[in-house]
Structure 1
Amino acid sequence: MDIRVRGDGPAAPFLSARDMLDTEYGLERPVVVDIRDDPDERTMVGHYDDRHELVVSRRAATSAMARELALHEFAHMARYEQAHPSHLQSTEEALFLALAGRSVEQRKLSHCYQIANHMKDIYADDITLDIGPTDKLVSFLESSLARALADSPPSPPEDGRRLRPGADPEITVVNAAFALALLERHDAIDADHRLYDLASAAAADAPSVSLSAFKRRFRSLEDDPDESAYRKALVDATREYVLSDTGQAAD
Structure 2
Amino acid sequence: MGAVPAGPFLGARDLFEYEYDLEKPVEVHVRENPDERTWAGHYDDHHVLNISRRAATSVMARELALHEYAHMHRYEDAHVSHTMGLSEVLFLALPGRRVERRVLQQCEQLANHAKDIYADDITLDVAPADKLLTFLESQLATALAERSAAASGPTGGSRLTAAADPEMTAVNAAFALALLERHDAVSEGHRIYEFADLADADAPGVDLPWFKEQFRTLARDPDESVYRRALVDLVRAFVDAHETTTGPAAD
Question: Quick check: TM above 0.5?
Answer: yes
What's the counterpart of residue 55 of structure 2?
Answer: 60
Q: Structure 1's 162 and 36: CA in aligned 2 closer, same or farther, altered over 3 A?
A: closer
What's the counterpart of residue 19 of structure 2?
Answer: 24
What's the counterpart of residue 197 of structure 1?
Answer: 194
1:92 deviates by 2.0
Tell me how far apart the structure 1 counterparts of residues 159 and 68 of structure 2 sit (CA, whole Å).
33
Look up the SS of the partner of 1:7 in the other structure. coil
Tell me how far apart the structure 2 counterparts of residues 228 and 36 of structure 1 sit (CA, whole Å).
37
Contact persistence 1:95–1:235 (CA under 8 A): yes
What is the aligned counterpart of 2:68 among 53, 73, 85? 73
Uncovered stretches (5+) of structure 1, i.e. residues with no partner: 1-5, 156-160, 247-251
Q: Is 1:168 the equivalent of 2:165?
A: yes
What is the aligned counterpart of 2:3 among 8, 13, 19? 8
What's the counterpart of residue 249 of structure 1?
Answer: none
Contact persistence 2:159–2:165 (CA under 8 A): no
Look up the SS of the partner of 1:221 in the other structure. coil
1:162 deviates by 5.4
Q: Is 1:50 the equivalent of 2:50?
A: no
Tell me how far apart the structure 2 counterparts of residues 242 and 67 of structure 1 sit (CA, whole Å).
35
Look up the SS of the partner of 1:112 in the other structure. helix
Tell me how far apart the structure 2 counterparts of residues 46 and 179 of structure 1 sit (CA, whole Å).
24
What's the counterpart of residue 140 of structure 2?
Answer: 145
Q: Is 1:101 the equivalent of 2:96?
A: yes
What is the aligned counterpart of 1:233 among 221, 224, 230? 230
What is the aligned counterpart of 2:182 among 182, 185, 196? 185
User: Aligned-pair RMSD on alpha carbons?
Assistant: 1.9
Tell me how far apart the structure 2 counterparts of residues 174 and 62 of structure 1 sit (CA, whole Å).
29
What's the counterpart of residue 81 of structure 2?
Answer: 86
What's the counterpart of residue 112 of structure 1?
Answer: 107
Q: Structure 1's 240 and 164: CA in aligned 2 closer, same or farther, altered over 3 A?
A: closer
1:163 deviates by 6.7
Q: Structure 1's 39 and 47: CA in aligned 2 closer, same or farther, altered over 3 A?
A: farther
What's the counterpart of residue 130 of structure 1?
Answer: 125
1:39 deviates by 7.3
Q: Percent identity?
A: 62
Greater Cα shift, 164-173 or 220-229: 164-173
TM score, norm. by length of structure 2? 0.89
Tell me how far apart the structure 1 counterparts of residues 8 and 95 of structure 2 sit (CA, whole Å).
44
TM score, norm. by length of structure 1? 0.89
The number of residues matched between the two structures is 237
Greater Cα shift, 133-142 or 97-106: 97-106
Q: Is 1:34 the equivalent of 2:47?
A: no
1:40 deviates by 7.0
Contact persistence 1:9–1:58 (CA under 8 A): yes
Q: Which 4+ runs in 1 deviate beyond 3 A?
A: 161-166
What's the counterpart of residue 3 of structure 1?
Answer: none
Tell me how far apart the structure 2 counterparts of residues 78 and 163 of structure 1 sit (CA, whole Å).
37
Uncovered stretches (5+) of structure 2, i.e. residues with no partner: 244-251
- Code of the aligned partner of 1:228: S
1:110 deviates by 1.9
Higher relative contact order by CA 8 Å / sep ≥ 6: 1 or 2? Answer: 2
